[in-house]
Amino acid sequence: MTAFPDLAPESVDRRWRPFLRGARDAAGGYQLYEPHPFNQRVWSIDLSVLDRSEQDALLEHYDLNRAFVGWTFFDPLPRKRTNALFGTGDGATTIFYLSGKDAEGLVVRVAGVPTVAFTRTPGLGPDGEDQVTFDVAPTNGAELRFDAADFRDRVAALYEPDENAIADRRVEASIYGISGIVIAEVIA
């Protein structure tokens, strides 16, 4: 499985059209008119505003991963994160990774106590996540949590098969001006 191309939004409003919908039920239908504890996030990517190299990267990812459920990408829309767990100290490890990237206004707590004895390195994680390196290894069992004013979290996703049928017919898509790919969050 290839990594999703980072189409970091220069213009989120033009490239990505996010919306929420009720989650699908076990039969694949939408849970309408029933209370549900969460909504599924869905993103439509407008190919017409991507440059050629971005289009190629996205369509290559689509071709290789459209049958997979649960591939991941970074949410293009930064959101506030509060009290998010990102690790547990063992007394020896100093390097940990956040669950996403581009953390702005980062506050880190070790065992509930705010600390500034760390360095954040953007994008250094195995999949491009932000890396946090502590000056001293957190003690064994200490929970590591963070808050961020803006944060692009990693999201498990799938390409919507019904919505993307036209993407499989690229010539037809270009003739009719249909230029979006739809991605939906996988909710566990």
Please tell me the predicted confidence (pLDDT) of residue 139.
Answer: 95
Q: Are 4 and 72 in contact (CB under 8 A)?
A: yes
- DSSP assignment of 15-59: HEEEEEEEPB-TTS-B--SS--S-EEEEEEEEGGGS-HHHHHHHH
User: Burial of 101 by CB count in 10 Å (0-12 exposed, 13-18 middle, 19+ buried)?
Assistant: buried
pLDDT digits (tens, 9 = 90+) for 61-79: 888 888 888 888 888 778 8
Handedness of CA 24, 181, 71, 62 (dihedral sign): positive
Q: Does residue 30 surpass a pLDDT of 60?
A: no
Local confidence band at 39 (pLDDT 50, 70, 90 cut-offs): low
What single-letter amino acid sits at 177? G
pLDDT, tens only, 75-111: 877 888 899 999 999 999 999 999 998 889 999 999 9
Which pLDDT value is given to residue 1?
53
Q: Where are the domains of the chain?
A: 12-76+154-185, 79-152
pLDDT band (50, 70, 90) for residue 152: confident
What is residue 84's three-state secondary structure? strand
User: Rounded to two decimals, what is the model's pTM?
Assistant: 0.71
Residues 115-146: pLDDT tens digits?
999 999 998 888 889 999 999 999 999 999 99
**Residue 91 gets which letter from DSSP?**
S
